[in-house]
Amino acid sequence: MIRSKKIMGAFLIVLLALVLTACSTTRSSSDSGGAASSDKKDKDINIAVNQDFTTLDPHNVSDTLSISATHAIYEGLVGFDKDMKIQPVLATDYKISDDGLTYTFHLRKNVKFQDGSSFNAEAVKANFDRIQSSKDALIASHYLQYLKSVKIVDDHTIQLILNQPFSAMLNKLTMVEMISPKALKDQGDKIGMHPVGTGPFEFVKWNQGESLILKKNPNYWDKGYPKVDQITYKSVPENGSRVDMLKTGEADFIYPLPEQSVQALKTQNDITVDQTTSNIVRYVTLNTNKKPFNDKKVRQAMNYALDKNAYIKVVKSGFGSELDSTMAPSTQFYSKQKVYNYDLSKAKELMKEAGYAKGFTAEIWGDTDSATMKGMQFIQQQMARINIKLKIKAMEQGTLSDAINTPKSPDDAKVQMWYVSWSPSSGDADGATRGLFSSAAFPPNGSNTAYYKNGEVDKLIDKANQTTDVEKQKSMYATIQKDIYNDAPWLFLGVDTNLSAHVNKLKGVYVLPDGSIQVKEAELQ
């Protein structure tokens, strides 16, 4: 009798657990979404993305996805249009002095932050002060390394004074967005969780790892925008699931759309696939400081041995173009080079000349992303044709970055080949060159993992930066690209095509060449 009571007790516990589940499930469905996503209204849109947002602090953001979100909430003095051309945003116009040292901005009037405080010269200065006083600890301080001081001329005019001319300054300023000084004061470090800007959308709720909800900023200065009431970004890491969400109507826009799913979506009448140019370049660095990659002939042979068409067909499912320079066509000062056309006999010839007719073995490194692993396998198959046996080493990102950056000197470096990509986040030639090819950028100081060193290129990189003459810069960058392409410190693979897809009734959401999603013009029909 007593025992059966105890068993009853045990069952009661289980029952209680069940009831708890039931209660908590209903509760969470009714309030965690709140007025937000659970009951989607006519003018609300859902965007499925592949990662979680990391922060909403525009001065401390480094990943493209989070930049997409900060672009919706915040604005800078200048910004990019669809083609990555610089346009005034919170400034109405700007002037650069002849010596390239003083930038004068006239600020847009009658602009208010989402918390009601006004946008003026004072606010701009507060933002620059925040970044500079962080002593390098904020990511944006990297963009302002040549900024000497900020001067308030009047309530709506501000001057930035540099300590040396810097040709990419305007590009970098697109990454410096304006936070409400009042919010900065109230929130301090926590601004990344409670963002307040001037942008078309204001912050509602961020469920870490699940969704980010933004709503229309009713007092937005650009009248007529935004045209939708609410945007919900959902983090969906699994590639196939994002596509499925579009099919089931759970998402109105998805990015990135995996290349291999395009075909499957073409048959759906209510879905449109968008292709936009990208400035993401794909390549494999060859450690030019190490045998046998120190031999230019070997590096060129490897480039000749690579079937770029097959690369685009197999790895990119037909989307993308071959990389015919060190940067993408949409990047500033791009200049097309004569490509290493697929030519197996020439490749073998060069290998023979270099004394590697029998080939060699090497390791290729990359992260654990499925697209990277796919690409590495392709390279492995291609290089086998000129007797180069590659061992694929896929490493988790943190481990990989450690393996690459731990060596203090080029001779300690273990990296031989690294399958990787790059996109200059501010679209400028400097961002696509200095960190990758300057000999000052050897790890751990930068991303020159090819350990490429060319005195002439080094000199030109510095010179181009400090010139204010656009034509001169253009010709300098042309030389830089020609020299590097000829030296072949990389296996030049391809330039991505940004693929996204949306339901037909949604218009105005698009992906910039750097991979960030623009939502200002979003509209439902």
Partner 1 sequence: MKKYIVKRILGIIPLLFVVSFLIFLFIHLVPGDPARLIAGKDADLQQINAIKHQLHLDEPLYKQYIDYMNNLFHGNLGESIKSKVPVSELIGERIVPSLELSLLSIAWAMVIGVLIGIISAIFKNRWPDNIGMITAVSGISLPNFWLGLVMIQIFSVKLGLLPTGGIETWKGYLMPSIALGAGIMAMIARFTRSSLVQTLKEDFIRTGRSRGYSGLTIVFGHALRSSLIPVVTVAGLQFGFLLGGSIVVETVFSFPGMGRLLINSIQMRDYPVVQAELMLFSFEFILVNLIVDLLYGFLNPKIRYD
Partner 2 sequence: MSETMTVSKQQIASKRGTLSTFWHDFRQRKVAFISFLFFVLLVILAVIGPYIVPFNPQTPDYNHVLQGMSQKHWAGTDEYGRDVLSRLIAGTRISLGIGISSVLIGAMAGTILGLVSGYFGKWVDKTIMRICDVLFAFPDILLAIGIVAILGPGLKNVIFAVAFFSVPSFARMVRGKTLEVKEMLFIEAEKSIGAKTNRIIFRHIFPETIPIIIVYLTMQVGTAILAAASLSFLGLGASPSSPDWGAMLSMSRDYIGTAFNLVFFPGLAIFLTVLSLNNLGDGLRDILDPKIKD
Give, as ranges, the residues between 26 and 45 that touch partner 1 (CB under 8 A): 26, 28-29, 32-33, 37-38
Strand boundaries in 287-399, DSSP class E: 321-322, 360-366, 388-394
- Nearer Cβ to partner 1 (137/455): 137
Please state whether 335 falls in left (phi above 0), alpha (psi between -120 and 50) or beta: beta
211 binds partner 1 (CB under 8 A): yes
**Residue found by looking up tokens 């020159």 in the block:** 448
For the chain, report the end-to-end CA distance as a whole number of angstroms.
Answer: 69
In the complex, least distance from residue 60 CB atom to partner 1, rounded to whole angstroms:
8
Six-digit token string for 124? 């701009």
DSSP-based three-state secondary structure for 194: coil
User: How many Å separate Cα 238 from the centre of its chain?
Assistant: 19
Please, which of residues 137-166 interact with partner 1 by CB under 8 A? 137, 139, 141-142
207 lies in the binding site for partner 1 (CB under 8 A) = yes
Q: Which of residues 237 and 355 has its CB atom nearest to partner 1 in the complex?
A: 237
Q: Site map for partner 1, 423-442, x if CB under 8 A?
A: --x-----x---x-----x-
For residue 6, what are the CA distances in angstroms to 19, 20, 31, 430, 488? Answer: 20, 21, 37, 74, 77
Give the number of other Cβ atoms within 10 Å of residue 8's Cβ: 11
Residues β-bridged to residue 80: 86
Token pair in block for residue 250: 């759970």
Pick one of 115, 222, 250, 274: the residue that binds partner 1 (CB under 8 A): 250
Distances (CA, A) of 313 to 97, 187, 265, 269, 336: 48, 49, 18, 25, 22
3-state SS string over 461-504? HHHHHHCCCHHHHHHHHHHHHHHHHHHCCEEEEEEEEEEEEEEC
The footprint of partner 2 (CB under 8 A) covers 238-240, 243-244, 258, 260-261, 263-264, 307, 310, 313-314, 367-370, 373-374, 376-378, 380-381, 391-396, 398-399
Beta carbon nearer to partner 2, 142 or 266: 266
Partner that binds at residue 481, options partner 1, partner 2, none, CB closer than 5 to 8 Å by kind? none
Q: How far is the CB of 467 from partner 2 (least distance, A)?
A: 44
Helix ranges (H only) for 191-295 are 239-248, 262-266
Q: Which does 292 bind (CB under 5 to 8 A by kind): partner 2, partner 1, none?
A: none
Of the candidate residues 71, 108, 156, 234, the single one contacting partner 1 (CB under 8 A)? 234
Q: Which is nearer to partner 2, 258 or 329 (CB)?
A: 258
Q: Which stretch binds partner 1 (CB under 8 A): 16-24, 255-263, 474-482, 502-510?
A: 16-24
Six-digit token string for 65: 């996805």
With CB under 5 to 8 Å by kind, the binding choice for 9 among partner 2, partner 1, none is: partner 1
Q: Does an H or E element contain 72, and which?
A: helix 64-73
Residue 71 touching partner 1 (CB under 8 A): no
Q: Does 278 bind partner 1 (CB under 8 A)?
A: no
As measured in angstroms, the least distance from the Cβ of 167 to partner 1 is: 16
If the CB atoms of residues 267 and 525 are measured against partner 2, the closer one turns out to be: 267
209 binds, among partner 2, partner 1, none (CB under 5 to 8 A by kind): partner 1
Per the listing, tokens 């659970």 go with 38
Q: Where are the alpha helices (DSSP H) in 384-454?
A: 397-405, 434-437
What does 14 interact with, of partner 1, partner 2, none (CB < 5 to 8 A by kind)?
Answer: partner 1
Taking the complex as a whole, the smallest distance from the CB of residue 157 to partner 1 amounts, in Å, to 30
Which of these, 13, 117, 99, 53, lies nearest to 466 by C-alpha position?
Answer: 99
Burial class (CB in 10 A: 0-12, 13-18, 19+), 39: exposed
Between strands 147-154 and 157-162, the pairing is antiparallel
CA of 437: how far to CAs of 129, 152, 277, 372, 456, in Å? 32, 38, 24, 22, 11
**Closest distance to partner 2 from the beta carbon of 401 (Å):** 12
Q: Work out the widest C-alpha separation in the chain, in whole angstroms.
A: 97
Q: Which is nearer to partner 1, 33 or 197 (CB)?
A: 33
Q: How far is the CB of 414 from partner 2 (least distance, A)?
A: 11
Should residue 446 be labelled a site residue for partner 1 when binding is judged by CB under 8 A? yes
Rounded CA gap, 157 and 94, in Å?
Answer: 10
Q: Is 81 among the residues that bind partner 1 (CB under 8 A)?
A: no
Query: Considering CB distances under 5 to 8 angstroms, the limit depending on partner class, which of partner 2, partner 1, none binds residue 313?
Result: partner 2
* Residue 18 in contact with partner 1, rule: CB under 8 A: yes
The nearest distance, CB 301 to partner 2, in angstroms, is: 20
| Helix, strand, coil percentages in the chain from 3-state DSSP, rounded to 5 | 35, 25, 40
Task: Select 210 or 244, whichever has its Cβ closest to partner 2.
Answer: 244
Closer to partner 2 at the Cβ: 353 or 396? Answer: 396
Supply 116's token pair: 């009601």
Q: Which does 261 bind (CB under 5 to 8 A by kind): partner 2, partner 1, none?
A: partner 2
Q: Which stretch binds partner 1 (CB under 8 A): 201-209, 304-312, 372-380, 488-496?
A: 201-209
Residue 376 C-alpha from the chain's centroid: 21
Among positions 342-361, residues that touch partner 1 (CB under 8 A) are: none
Task: Cis check for the bond before 88: say yes or no (omega within 30 of 0).
Answer: no
Work out how close the CB of 2 gets to partner 1 at its nearest, in angstroms, rounded to a whole number: 8
- Choose the one of partner 1, partner 2, none that binds residue 376, judging by a C-beta under 5 to 8 angstroms depending on kind: partner 2
Neighbours of 338 (CB within 10 A): 9
